[in-house]
C-alpha cells in the first residue's frame, strides 16, 4: 500500500483520489484535526479508538517505508539514505548533497581533510589584493602586502 497521506484542503484523499469521503470513512486526528481517509490508512484504528486516534504525523510511531516510486537511481539512493537509522541527520544531509551534486560516496571529501587552503581567498585572488572601494575609505584602508 502507498504511504499514509491525509486528505487535502479540498477534502480529496491524497492516496486514492476520492473527493470528499463520507463522514463514516473520514477520520480526524485528535491532536491536529487533520482529516484522513480511513480505508487508505495502512493501520486503521478500531472503531472504539477513533475518538482518541492520532495521525501518523502526530503519533511519532515509525511508519513502514513506502514502496519506491518510479524516479530512477537518484530517488532510490536518497530513500536508502533516509531509511538508514544508523546515520545522524547531519550525515544524511551531507550524503544527500553528495548524491545530488553527482559525487559518489567514494569520491566525497572526507571530514578529516582540512580544505581551508582550497577556499582561502588569497589563493583565489593571489597574494596581493587591494580593494578599490576600501582604499577610498581613509579610516579603514584594506591592503594585503606580502
Q: Are residues 106 and 121 in the same domain?
A: no
Alpha-carbon gap, residue 71 to 75, rounded angstroms: 6
Q: Are residues 138 and 99 in the same domain?
A: no
Tell me if the pTM is above 0.75.
Answer: no
From the CA atom positions of the chain, what is the Rg in Å? Answer: 27
Q: Are residues 44 and 87 in the same domain?
A: no
As given in the structure block, the three cell numbers for residue 82 are 533516509
For 15, residues 6+ apart whose C-beta sits below 8 A from its C-beta are 2, 3, 4, 5, 37, 40
Q: Are residues 89 and 53 in the same domain?
A: no
Q: How confident is the model at residue 1 (pLDDT cuts 50, 70, 90)?
A: very low
Q: Are residues 61 and 2 in the same domain?
A: yes
Confidence check: pLDDT of 84 > 80: yes
Q: Are residues 98 and 59 in the same domain?
A: no
If one counts the domains in the chain, the total is 3
CB-CB contact of 57 with 35 (8 Å): no
Alpha-carbon gap, residue 53 to 11, rounded angstroms: 19
Q: Give the CA diameter of the chain.
A: 79
Query: What's the pLDDT tens digit per position in 89-121?
Result: 899 889 888 887 776 655 555 555 555 555 566
Q: Are residues 61 and 72 in the same domain?
A: no
Q: Are residues 101 and 118 in the same domain?
A: no
Query: What's the pLDDT tens digit per position in 29-81?
Result: 888 888 888 888 888 888 878 788 888 888 776 555 555 555 577 788 888 88
Alpha-carbon gap, residue 116 to 118, rounded angstroms: 5
For 29, residues 6+ apart whose C-beta sits below 8 A from its C-beta are 36, 53, 54, 55, 57, 58
User: How far from each other are the two terminal CA atoms of the chain, in whole angstroms?
Assistant: 67
Q: Are residues 136 and 82 in the same domain?
A: no
Residue of 82 and 61 predicted with greater confidence? 82
Q: Quote the domain boundaries for residue 2.
A: 1-66
Report the pLDDT averaged over residues 120-140. Answer: 65
Amino acid at each position: 500500500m502507498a504511504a499514509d497521506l491525509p486528505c487535502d484542503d479540498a477534502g480529496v484523499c491524497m492516496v486514492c483520489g476520492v473527493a470528499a469521503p463520507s463522514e463514516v470513512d473520514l477520520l480526524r486526528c485528535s491532536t491536529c484535526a487533520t482529516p484522513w481517509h480511513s480505508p487508505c490508512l495502512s493501520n486503521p484504528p478500531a472503531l472504539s479508538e477513533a475518538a482518541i486516534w492520532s495521525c501518523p504525523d502526530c503519533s511519532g510511531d515509525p511508519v513502514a517505508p513506502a514502496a519506491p516510486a518510479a524516479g530512477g537511481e537518484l530517488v532510490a539512493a536518497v530513500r536508502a539514505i533516509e531509511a538508514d537509522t544508523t546515520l545522524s541527520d547531519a550525515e544524511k544531509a551531507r550524503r544527500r548533497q553528495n548524491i545530488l551534486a553527482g559525487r559518489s560516496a567514494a569520491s566525497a571529501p572526507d571530514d578529516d581533510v582540512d580544505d581551508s587552503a582550497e577556499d582561502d581567498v588569497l589563493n583565489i585572488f593571489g597574494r596581493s589584493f587591494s580593494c578599490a572601494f576600501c582604499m577610498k575609505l581613509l579610516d579603514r584602508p584594506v591592503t594585503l602586502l606580502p
